[in-house]
Amino acid sequence: MIFKHRKVLYRVTFVLSVAAVFMLGPLGGTAPGADSSFDPAAMSDMSDFDPNNFQQPEGDTIKLGYLQIMSGAAAGNGELFWPVVTWVAHDINKRGGIMVDGKKKKIEILKGDTQGKPAAARKETERLCLEENVDLLWGTSGSHTAKAIADVAEEYKVPFLNCLSLSDELMNEKNFNRYTFRTLSNTTQWNMALSYYFSKRPETKFSILCQDYMYGHAMADAFKKYLNKYKPEAEIVSEDYHKLWLKDFAPYMTKIMAANPDILYTADWLPDGDNLINQARSMGVNLPIANIYITNPDTLASVGVEGTRNMIFCYSWMSGDTPQTKAQKKLMKEWHEQWKTWEAPYDSLLYIWPDFVVGQTISDTYWLFDVIQRTGTLDPEKIIKVWEDDVYKAIQGVRTMRAADHQAVFDMYVGEATYPTREVYEGAPYSEGYAGVHKVIKIPQKYCTPPVPEGLKDRVE
């Protein structure tokens, strides 16, 4: 009798296993405790990938609206993330696409130039939604432009992956909409992680130098708030805000040195971040600089080994010279090998590794399409249903999309730069001529997860 039941059990298990294999499809299986996982084994052979020659599929496609700054002085943003979206699309397209509405569809990418301006972002998003009939939106640098896109996304009911704008306010009670999902860490997550990290270090005196607009002040305020929480004995010995695109950092450096801090904290992005470190080091200011965006290898290589040795980076994705997961190792190797074949502008050191923002956005884009695959349709309401509360084992770490405010929560990473760094794989040193991230410290999610905004707590059961 027992033997008979066991036989039935084996048969049921076999049938279910076969069914599961068919149902999971090409993007990956499911890790324990997660709704889905990125599967490195399923990744296509990427040896024919070239961001300069992305092959757009024809016919019935999944249309992704790629919204970035593509003109003017900040056009580098649009250029930077093009290899990201095309990499993911190329990989999935080579696998035959994604099964949606009973049909395998490949991914087509349609560009929209936000110019870094809300009005232009709104116009381009409307064009993509109304004229191009995009199914999904992807973007964008600058919280003010992301807000414009989010508004249009809600108006036309198109899911919007915000993987680049970090202002807390974007997802608060006032600005939240059901169609926008943020996969990037917000201002609070960033500073909780960094403050927690400093609570474990001996330094107590901090100087703050940020850009003088809403973002810079918000970052500094969050840093002060959580440093006070995690390290009450810490002291802010100087606090300054400089205008955007500052030419001369020397007066600030003199002021900071007079305050005698142990650490300089900055949230500056480019070009200010580049100029800050370059001018500080040229003046003999060799303080450890804790930052987010001074990660461009071209800049670091220019500053050299000594100037970069004592930098501290904080990000929601960090590999450095030690990729932590199998998927991360595979991505780092595949990307780096392909990078060697790319031509301008993608042959610069900026693209040498899929690390920091590049790695994070690749991972987030895979997550978006994993959700689409599991939804099995491009119906926005069904996509929302699947993505809310989704637990995804991403290329690096597990990410959970909070249903209440559509803010992804996860572990954060802090890295210290050193030199020389290890080879990521045989014959591929992480950095040459500058200090790169060697020691990556994981900040567990519980220390860097902000509360759900009060007015959104009861939004979902």
Partner 1 sequence: MDPMTFICVTQFVHGLAYGLLLFLVAAGLSMIFGMMDILNLAHAYIFMLAAYLGYTMTGLLNFWAALLLAPIGVALLGMLIERFMLRKIHPLGHIPELVLTIGIGLILLEFVKWIWGTQSLMLQPPEILSGLLSIGVFRYPVYRVFIIGFSIAVMILMGLLFYKTRFGTIVRAATADAGMVGALGINVPLVYTLFFGFGTWLAGLAGVVVAPFLSVFPGLADQIGFDAFVVVVLGGLGSMSGAFIAAILIGLLNSFGIQFLPTLAPLLTFGLMAVVLSIKPTGLLGERQ
Contact footprint for partner 1 (CB under 8 A): 72-76, 78-80, 212, 240-243, 245, 247-248, 250-252, 254-255, 258, 270-271, 274-275, 278-279, 282-284, 296, 298-299, 302-304, 344-345, 348, 350
Between CA 34 and CA 26 the distance in angstroms is: 17
- Structure-token match 């991972």, residue found: 363
Of the pair 192, 276, the CB lying nearest partner 1 is at: 276
Of the pair 343, 389, the CB lying nearest partner 1 is at: 343
Closest Cα to residue 316, out of 139, 194, 185? 185
State in angstroms the smallest separation of the CB of 73 from partner 1: 3
Of the pair 5, 247, the CB lying nearest partner 1 is at: 247
Burial of 320 (0-12, 13-18, 19+ CB in 10 A): buried
State in angstroms the smallest separation of the CB of 144 from partner 1: 18
Between CA 107 and CA 129 the distance in angstroms is: 16
Of the pair 75, 441, the CB lying nearest partner 1 is at: 75
In residues, how long is the chain?
Answer: 461
Between CA 192 and CA 199 the distance in angstroms is: 11
State in angstroms the smallest separation of the CB of 95 from partner 1: 31
CB atoms within 10 A of CB 113: 19
Contact 139, 67 (CB under 8 A): yes
Of the pair 29, 271, the CB lying nearest partner 1 is at: 271
State in angstroms the smallest separation of the CB of 154 from partner 1: 31
Contact 413, 402 (CB under 8 A): no
State in angstroms the smallest separation of the CB of 240 from partner 1: 5
State in angstroms the smallest separation of the CB of 350 from partner 1: 6
Between CA 349 and CA 135 the distance in angstroms is: 33
Of the pair 251, 429, the CB lying nearest partner 1 is at: 251
CB atoms within 10 A of CB 350: 19
Which residues have CB under 8 Å from 266's CB, separation 6+? 208, 209, 210, 273, 276, 289, 290, 291, 294
Of the pair 40, 304, the CB lying nearest partner 1 is at: 304
State in angstroms the smallest separation of the CB of 328 from partner 1: 24
